[in-house]
Structure 1
């Protein structure tokens, strides 16, 4: 049906023939339909606002990051909030998603450097790389010197980044075989978010 096919004069005649009570009911129905259509959008906007507010970050600082990174961060926040009322809860699931966001950043921004500049073995497909593969080479001082000599970041920046990856590796192992306390999660979040370790990945290149 086209817009031009609508007989507005007929609609007008129908409206004129209605009682005031019928018109009020019709208006209420139309208003309810409009409200229902707006609710999903409002709910989605509220969730986004809650996500950034929960982490205490500015949307403009993160909006250009890959979508998978933001999805993982949001999932980590949801899980953290879900378990936060239980002081004895295991926050391993939340750690996994924070580390997933970290790995997505590494694959997106650092994979080309490891493959083409450092020319390391095992970097044939970004989708199969792990946090350990990005962390272990940085244990060698020569690796950091090579990166800085090629105008990638600063020595201090790479050392901070190495410490972040080291913590991620430790917590991933504990999440798989042990237990993650709330305090452990907050300590890692401090490195990842408050100290901008996640954003620094992009800045190092």
Structure 2
């Protein structure tokens, strides 16, 4: 998986129509909608502002008036093929007066995003996971110190007869972190996958 280091763009012209492909790093659909609104304001004369969003748990597509499946779907396919995550792809089209047909539109929208990806600086992203950990009150500060040392994030804490922490860490470090925590607390804790 990869994410964008910075926004990227590219412009292509096909039969007098301008296609401006843009990529933005986003953390949520709400952030993507704000960026999209900004692009609509920057390009008031555009005939279409199509988009594809790949975001943790909240992806989306919009052909913005182009024939169904000819704009956003090819853009989305490029994002999937390039293994990008948390990215908004936008293509602004200025119509040049010549119809491109469904195949021509599909190629144009896909190419606009492919060209933008070529101009993008991509950073690898390590997959993360969440673990639920149940432990005694007396051991909480020790486990929190271990989390800090190993760059594990404490997302949530609940207190009842015992302490329940929800932790986020890289998948690659999960097994080693659990072993370190068990050693530190002499086995006096339970791990499970967070729901």
The TM-score, its normalising length taken from structure 1, stands at: 0.19
Relative CO higher for 1 or 2, CA cutoff 8 Å, sep ≥ 6?
A: 2
- Structure with greater helix share of residues: 1
Bigger-Rg structure (1/2): 1
Q: As a proportion of its length, which structure holds more strand?
A: 2
